[in-house]
A and B are shown apart, each in its own frame.
Chain A
Amino acid sequence: MAAKDVILEYVKNEYLEDGDDREVTFDTPLISGGIVDSFSMVSLKVFLETKYNVSIPDAKATPEAFDSVNNIIALLKDMGVE
């Protein structure tokens, strides 16, 4: 599975409640859309670091960088993850 599919799946499974039927796409705002809050962002960061074996510096782990799956993919690319 491509990284963006893996991340989208993870977000849906981990951060949406069972009964939450909101549609989440690659462009859906995660932080500003209230799906992932600033505290939960830390667990998303740990997931990305573990899954893709990278260390994301705090300066790059901004709400904007995590605000959609596409933004996360751009961040990972920037860090050398293909």
Chain B
Amino acid sequence: MIKKKITMVGAFAVGKTSLVQRFVNSIYSEKYQTTIGVKIDQKNLVIDGKDVTLLLWDIHGEDDFMKVKPTYLIGSSGYFIVVDGTRYETLQTALQLQEMASAVTKDVPFIVLINKSDLRQDWEINNDDIELIRKRGWQVILTSARDNIAVEDAFEQLTRMMLNQ
């Protein structure tokens, strides 16, 4: 049995908890509940014939008052940096968090999730921005926890990256 710790990081209200709930429990709630501290969920997967247990650490979103604690990232085998496509500033936060996470986790795999693709018409992040992120060599996936777009793919892809590392 292989177990891996995955951490969800990002600015506040980008949809980290919704992505985890969609992936783990196949549910989505319109009601916004801010995460305080950390919430942990578990999901068992079979990837390429291997049983993998994912421990998903859903960390509170970073804002001006509450910074993400690096200790929560220690020991992560991979992490998601979640961005809200409708708020450009969350991309800036994501870039800062990536620096911190990379230092703490010693360059484990990660994927940038630009969430809320169901609201594409309201996005402040355009294709050029996305292209710039990709040019850094980062993997980017556009997701929607609400419409269940690419959520499972994202988790499975990160799991494969972790297993292949």
A and B together in one complex: no
Query: B residues touching A (Cβ–Cβ < 8 Å)?
Result: none
